[in-house]
Amino acid sequence: MAPKNSSSRLQRNMKERIRRMRMKHLLAKLAPLVHPDPSKLSGPEVLDQATSHVKQLQGRIEELMNRRKEMQPTMKSSSARIPALNIRTRDTILEVNLITGLQKNFMLHEIINVLQEEGADIINFAYRSTCDSVLYSIRAQAISVRIGMEIPTIEERLKEVIY
């Protein structure tokens, strides 16, 4: 019976070794997604940062869903309000939300040019098309924190391009 027990223990040890190698491989794939220098993170630190990132994303999704609910009556009530421009700032981040009809009278690169000329560096851009309108969301950051961005000037210039 001793040989049978030792072979089952060897099998358990081998399975555990394979499981640990798989976990190490998965952590190695996750680490670069949560930290610029993944070699400085231990396994638990990678998991902590990934958990924090997912929670931030969930919060952002909830925030966007709430804003969408707030904006839907505006979007459905009348196409006379289109295009609609909403600019928000948080620290050095500028978020431009624009709702237009499908027959817009401007080119998107004009909006991006205005932002860049006013000292903004585009971080990301997204758009969503519905049956009768398009929602653009542009996030930008001030190129220089000391100089910043003049929000009223940006808003006025964007209105000139859009309207």
Beta-carbon neighbour count of residue 118 at 10 Å? 19
The whole-angstrom distance between residue 71's C-alpha and the CA centroid of its chain comes to 20
* Amino acid in the structure at residue 1: M
Determine the Cα–Cα distance for residues 73 and 84; give it in Å rounded to an integer: 13
| Prediction pTM value | 0.49
Please check whether residue 129 is in contact with residue 138, taking contact to mean a CB–CB distance below 8 angstroms: no
Strands (E) across the chain are located at 84-90, 93-101, 120-129, 133-142
Local confidence pLDDT in tens for the 163 residues of the chain: 456 678 899 999 999 999 999 999 999 999 888 888 878 888 899 999 999 989 999 999 999 888 888 877 655 554 555 688 888 888 778 899 988 887 777 788 888 899 888 888 899 999 888 877 888 899 998 887 666 678 888 889 888 888 7
Beta pairing class for 84-90 and 120-129: unpaired
**Which residues does residue 141 pair with via DSSP β-bridges, in sequence order?**
93, 121
